[in-house]
Amino acid sequence: MLQMYGFDGGTPLHRAREAITAAEPAVFATGGDTVDLTVLPRWTEYGPRHHCANRDAWYDLVWTAPADRILLDSRVYAHSSPAERQRLARVLAGAGVLPDVFGADEDEPVDGGLPPRGLLAGVLLRRALAHAGVLPPPDVIPFEERLEAAGAVTLEGLSKAQMALLGGPEAALQMLQRRQRIAVKSDRTVDIYDWDAWGRSAAGTIRALPVPAVV
């Protein structure tokens, strides 16, 4: 199954999931119940150098074992059995991100909660069955298109006194238009990207991947 996990410091995930769902929801069945195709956001800052976002890759595509969903899926962890949590503790201890909590008693559960999600994502990457590829960042919507989508500026809400202070209706309108252009041009939110086109491209990439045979 296609799994998508986010963590603090990573590239956007919710818009990416929505884009793939809108483009081709059937790709979420990739791998079935045998193997997961996991989409991991790359770090935008303060992350390991080998897993940083760049102009060619914002997301890693890795084949992972369904049993490893417990690493990043809080719902799976919340409903996991004692045996599954014991296995998780062994995995984390072996990866060096959790002290060995077992000692002589292997029934001792995970203690003290889980490490930060960024560390857990690193563990999942190292445990991946195979690296399937990457997904690039979406294209930025051209400035003029974003400006048009912002809508026409009006003087609605301004009193005659306020317009007079700004030099009259024409000058007030010009000032508001300049402010709008500056706001649109300086926007750095996820809304500046063409997620619709990205979703179609990402779904095509995922659909074309050969599913590995799992022994």
3-state secondary structure the chain: CEEECCCCCECCCHHHHHHHHHHCHHHHHCCCCCCEEEEEECECCCCCHHHECCCCCCEEEEEECHHHHHHCCHHHHHCCCHHHHHHHHHHHHHHCCCCCCCCCCCCCCCCCCCCCHHHHHHHHHHHCCEEEEEECCCCECCHHHHHHHCCCCCCCCCCHHHHHHCCCHHHHHHHHHHHHHHHHHCCCCHHHECHHHHHHHHHHHHHCCCCCCCC
Residue 172 has pLDDT above 60, yes or no: yes
Residues facing residue 131 across a β-bridge:
62
Mean pLDDT of 156-160: 85
Confidence of residue 202 (pLDDT cuts 50, 70, 90): very high
Judged by phi (left if over 0) then psi (alpha if -120 to 50, else beta), residue 19 lies in: alpha
Confidence of residue 97 (pLDDT cuts 50, 70, 90): confident
Residues facing residue 40 across a β-bridge:
60
Q: In this structure, how many other beta carbons lie within 10 angstroms of the beta carbon of residue 107? A: 8
Q: How much is the pTM? A: 0.78
Determine the Cα–Cα distance for residues 127 and 145; give it in Å rounded to an integer. 43
Mean pLDDT of 173-187: 91
Which pLDDT score, from 0 to 100, does residue 196 have? 96
Residues with Cβ < 8 Å from 169, sequence gap 6 or more?
A: 155, 163
Determine the Cα–Cα distance for residues 148 and 199; give it in Å rounded to an integer. 23
Share of the chain above pLDDT 90, in %: 43
Which pLDDT score, from 0 to 100, does residue 166 have? 83
